Amino acid sequence: MTAPAATPDLLPNAIAEAPFGTFFLPGPTEVRPAVLAAMLRPMIPHRGAEFEALYARCDAGLRRVFRTERPVYLSSSSATGLMEGAVRAAPAGPVLAVVTGAFSERFADIARACGRDVRVLDVPWGRAADPDDLARALAADRFAAVTVVHSETSTGALTDVRAVAAAARAHGAACLVDSVTGVGGAELHADAWQLDFVLTGSQKALALPAGLAFGVASAAFAAGAVARPAAEAARGRYFDLAEFEAYAAKRQTPNTPALSLFYALDAQLAAMADGEPIEARWARHRAMAEQTWAWVDARAARFGVGVLAPAGERSPTVTAVTLPEGLDSAAVVRAVAARGYTIGSGYGRLKATTFRVGHMGDHTPETLAGCLAACDDALVGLTTAGAVGPVVGRDRRAGP
Ligand SMILES: *Cc1c(COP(=O)(O)O)cnc(C)c1O
């Protein structure tokens, strides 16, 4: 038997020249062909100088993204792995879960699955969490940790996690932040905002293939986790922050890394360092969000659509668009797909009544304009084909 022939340069070139700009799911997001092509490099040992150099570049690039001087943990898992790792590393005691939608509900579920006594602060879906409500809830008991989602991908609401972390700190609780659709698209300063733990996944605003998760622990949170005796800590192993902390110092991962994804990450961070500092990336996302909101507003009267989250509480990376009675999100998604673009349906209990546009990652106002034009055309088609009667305008937006 002969080994397969070495990959000729033809394949990477074919990938690198593929078109980009039609895939607007709020995760996974579209990956630039050049980043995909970077994954075709050969395997190397993960205990060796070449990998350590690759690791060091990824760590340095991600520190700029998270705005931190702490090491960034590189987990070969989806983001959920580090959500579990965060809970397991938190001090013993009850957890207050701030629930603003389906993903923060999942964070609460993870804490329960890790054996925590979980209390929930329920926020109406579509709204951001209010730090004053949180302070009141925190005063009711002695909580070890607060879980919160920065950009709630199911609703498009953005919570002020800096204020949430401050409220948690004032009550002696650690703040665990899911910023899966925040980091890389929404402004975030892990150090300056004093977040105890913040995590993201590769497949959202960083526009990488799915399969990596990145997290930053404050020095105090990491030290606390490391100091707790293993018997009472129950940190597990694969997502053990103490392991990540120890191996980060060696520029290695505790287990075999998803090496091909590290190549993609390295290529993406290099492109960001060369072409778009993180502040510019935040500004691009903000511009795409405003473009989307303006598009919705301009069609509110004609189609009965609206932005679910009220102004001032909106994520720059994802918008959930409410639909009028009689217009189902699945029909909209299908009609948009027929025009060559992929958008998301609603999520969780908002599945049928909203659709979502993921204006994040490496998209630009230009590619987004193409997507919104397809949405336009789809809505015209659906509303003139007799699919809906006259728009009665039942407003499904959340809030007052
Ligand atoms: C996508 C997403 C997750 C889940 O991430 P996985 O990578 O599927 O584990 C968690 N939280 C938020 C806010 C998300 O958008």
* pLDDT of amino acid 325: 94
Q: Which of 153, 180, 200, 206 to mutate to test the pocket of ligand 1 (most atoms within 8 A of CB)?
A: 180
Q: How far is the CA of 124 from the centre of ligand 1 (A)?
A: 20
240 in Cβ contact with 73 (< 8 Å) = no
pLDDT the model gives residue 4: 52
| Cβ within 8 Å of residue 348, ≥6 positions away | 101, 102, 105, 154
For residue 80 and ligand 1, the question of a CB distance below 6 A is answered with yes
Which DSSP letter does residue 101 get? S
Predicted confidence at residue 10, as pLDDT, reads 66
Distances (CA, A) of 178 to 131, 170, 395: 16, 20, 29
Q: Which of 171, 167, 216, 213 is nearest to 196 (CA)?
A: 216
Mean pLDDT (10-residue bins), the chain, 400 residues: 54 80 98 95 97 98 98 98 97 97 98 97 98 95 97 98 98 98 98 98 98 98 90 85 97 98 98 96 98 98 97 98 96 98 96 97 98 98 68 42
Return the pLDDT at 100.
Answer: 98
- Burial degree of 235 (CB within 10 A; 0-12, 13-18, 19+): buried
Cβ of 76 less than 6 Å from ligand 1: no
Q: Please tell me the distance from the alpha carbon of residue 376 to that of residue 367, in angstroms, as a whole number.
A: 14
Atom of ligand 1 nearest to the CA of 203: 7
The identity of residue 321, as a single letter, is: V
Report how far ligand 1's centroid is from the alpha carbon of 383 (Å).
33
Place of tokens 């290529």: 267
**pLDDT at residue number 373:** 98
pTM of the predicted protein model: 0.94
Mutate to test the pocket of ligand 1, among 77, 204, 261, 360 (most ligand atoms within 8 A of CB): 204
Give SS3 for 170.
helix
